[in-house]
């Protein structure tokens, strides 16, 4: 099983899922269902972004030094409008963030987009922990992201379909914003 996504199953204990539910106003089942989409979506996006040297460099610099502790703070601060989480989401998805969020909400049939604010810091914390445990450099982190993303894509099913649709919507929105800026 993929390194990052496998770690997630250990991190998302029933207690943590309940805390996320409280922070987002979602029931436990909806949190679980949404996280099965948004976390692989963040991993897939970071895998694509890591292909660019500048983005990989930025990724390595934004990895939290305290690993998952920062994700814990995000869960606690989310109901109070955690700006750091929104900034992370914006960096990960760029100008297509709103299109990604809207597509996730429509595809899943509930407002799952607040989970994106948790998924970013959570994935970054998992990557930081993994990089520390395995002594990974930037190339090692990129390889793990690419392998995790590829393994997720091969699983098929609803989660993969939603991730593809949402990321396509994000790319289209980014392209439209770029065209508008050039006009």
Per-residue model confidence as pLDDT tens digits over 104-132: 999 999 999 999 988 888 899 899 989 99
Most confident of 33-37, 64-68, 72-76, 77-81: 33-37
By residue range, what is the domain housing residue 34? 3-176
Please compute the mean of the pLDDT values over residues 32-41 and round it to a whole number. Answer: 94
For the record, the structure tokens of 14 come out as 């029933």
Question: Which residues, 6+ apart, have CB-to-CB distance to 111 below 8 Å?
Answer: 26, 105
> Does residue 81 carry a pLDDT above 90?
no
Residue 94, judged by CB atoms within 10 A of its CB (0-12, 13-18, 19+), counts as middle
Rounded Cα distance between 48 and 150, Å, is: 11
Tell me whether residue 29 is in a domain: yes
pTM: 0.89
pLDDT tops 80 at residue 160: yes
pLDDT above 80 for 177: yes
Mean pLDDT, the chain, as a whole number?
Answer: 88
| Residues 167/161, Cβ–Cβ less than 8 Å | no
Residue 183 placed within a domain: no
pLDDT at residue 118 in the model: 86
User: Residue 39: what pLDDT?
Assistant: 94
In a domain, 100, yes or no: yes
Structural domain total, the chain: 1
Categorize the per-residue pLDDT at 140 as very low, low, confident or very high, splitting at 50, 70 and 90: very high
CA–CA dist 95, 176 (Å, integer) = 10
Structure confidence at residue 109 (pLDDT): 96
């Amino acid at each position: 099983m993929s390194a990052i996504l496998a770690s997630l199953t250990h991190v998302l204990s029933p207690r943590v899922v309940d805390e996320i539910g409280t922070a987002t106003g979602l029931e436990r089942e909806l949190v679980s269902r949404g996280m099965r989409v948004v976390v692989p979506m963040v991993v897939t996006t970071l895998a694509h972004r890591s292909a660019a040297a500048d983005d990989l460099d930025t990724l390595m610099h934004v990895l939290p030094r305290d690993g998952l502790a920062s994700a814990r703070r995000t869960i606690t601060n989310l109901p109070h409008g955690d700006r750091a989480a929104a900034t992370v989401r914006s960096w990960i998805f760029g100008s297509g963030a709103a299109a990604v969020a809207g597509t996730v909400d429509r595809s899943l049939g509930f407002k799952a987009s607040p989970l994106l604010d948790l998924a970013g810091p959570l994935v970054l914390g998992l990557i930081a922990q993994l990089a520390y445990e395995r002594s990974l450099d930037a190339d090692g982190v990129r390889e793990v992201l690419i392998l995790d993303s590829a393994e997720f894509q091969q699983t098929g099913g609803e989660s993969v379909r939603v991730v593809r649709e949402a990321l396509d919507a994000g790319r289209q929105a980014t392209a439209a914003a770029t065209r508008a800026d050039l006009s």
